[in-house]
Amino acid sequence: MKRFDGKVVLITGGGGAIGSAAARRFHAEGARVCVVDMDFGRAEEVAGQFGDAGLAIAADVAVEDDSEHAVSECLAHFNRLDVVFNNAGISGTATPVQNMEVEEWDRVLQINLRGVFMILRASLRAMIDRAIPGSIVNMGSSMAGWDVLSGGAHYAASKHAIVGLTKTAALDAAPWGIRINAICPGVIETTLGVPASDRDSYLKGVARFAKRIPLRRIGTPDDVAATVCFLASEDARHVTGADWLIDGGQTLQSWANAPAADAYPSSIDGPR
């Protein structure tokens, strides 16, 4: 018996590095998987690996009609919805907050927060209507949901908000037996979007950063997928409202025991 036999899982940003790893893991554990992405080609590529157990859905989660449609298409095709991995997100352009354009702020918040809220709401309504005691996992961040990143005010605001949204929604949904948790990954090695010409410098940066992590390595999409599947499964049946770190101990570092500051210089230059 696999953990997700008979279950239907919807994953937003399912065509990306972390989303596709989660889709493969859920499928390997018995699930039928709806792969939602605004890049339909990527969604099709991932869902196509699962035969009849996969469905690609084109949707921009920041658009209300698209979010509603993603959930209703999943229900129309598989006739149920047990698990949602609310994962689609962008990091935005790194800019000091004093120089940040309102348009860039809005762009990040609309996808990372508004999009997560709308998928969450549509999924909860579907689960409540069908009396399915489902599980929802929202994507936060350790570097920006627990910690902060210079130049990433929009990203950090969106990911901190995910933790508040998750805890509140977990309370609201608990009477229906629906569990809602957030995951907060640290740096995850995702070479998928890195052009071949930048790959070497990306991997050097990853190796340098690994030295600052207590467990001495960068996380992988499979590390994240394993935790998402745990939280979504019956094994985590008494876990709700958690903001689950997956960061190799990265956030345990304080100023007193952190490695030399120049190991990871700030992206922002200033007079001091």
Ligand X SMILES: NC(=O)c1ccc[n+]([C@@H]2O[C@H](COP(=O)([O-])OP(=O)(O)OC[C@H]3O[C@@H](n4cnc5c(N)ncnc54)[C@H](O)[C@@H]3O)[C@@H](O)[C@H]2O)c1
> Is the C-alpha dihedral spanning 22, 27, 30, 32 positive or negative?
positive
Q: Is 42 in the site for ligand X (CB under 6 A)?
A: yes
Q: Is 12 in the site for ligand X (CB under 6 A)?
A: yes
> Which window, 15-23, 197-205, 236-244, 252-260, contacts ligand X (CB under 6 A)?
15-23
d(CA 58, CA 132): 25
Least gap, CB of 270 to ligand X (angstroms): 25
CB contact set of 249 (below 8 Å; sequence gap of 6+): 213, 214, 215
Q: In what order do the strands lie in the sheet with 179-185?
A: 54-58, 32-37, 8-12, 83-86, 135-139, 179-185, 243-246
d(CA 112, CA 117): 9
Q: Is 71 in the site for ligand X (CB under 6 A)?
A: no
State yes or no: is 264 an active-site residue: no
Pick the binder of ligand X from 88, 113, 119, 231 (CB under 6 A). 88
Least gap, CB of 184 to ligand X (angstroms): 7
Set 155, 158, 181, 247: catalytic member: 155
- Asked if 21 contacts 224 with a C-beta cutoff of 8 angstroms, the reply is yes
- Asked if 267 contacts 193 with a C-beta cutoff of 8 angstroms, the reply is no
Phi, psi of 83 (to 5 degrees): -140, 140
Q: Is 90 in the site for ligand X (CB under 6 A)?
A: yes
Q: Considering only residues 134-163, where is the footprint of ligand X by CB under 6 A?
A: 139, 141
Pick the binder of ligand X from 7, 11, 13, 44 (CB under 6 A). 13
* Closest CB to ligand X among residues 29, 39: 39
Positions marked active-site:
155
Binding residues for ligand X (CB under 6 A): 12-13, 15-19, 37-39, 42, 59-62, 87-90, 111, 115, 139, 141, 185, 187-188, 190, 192-193
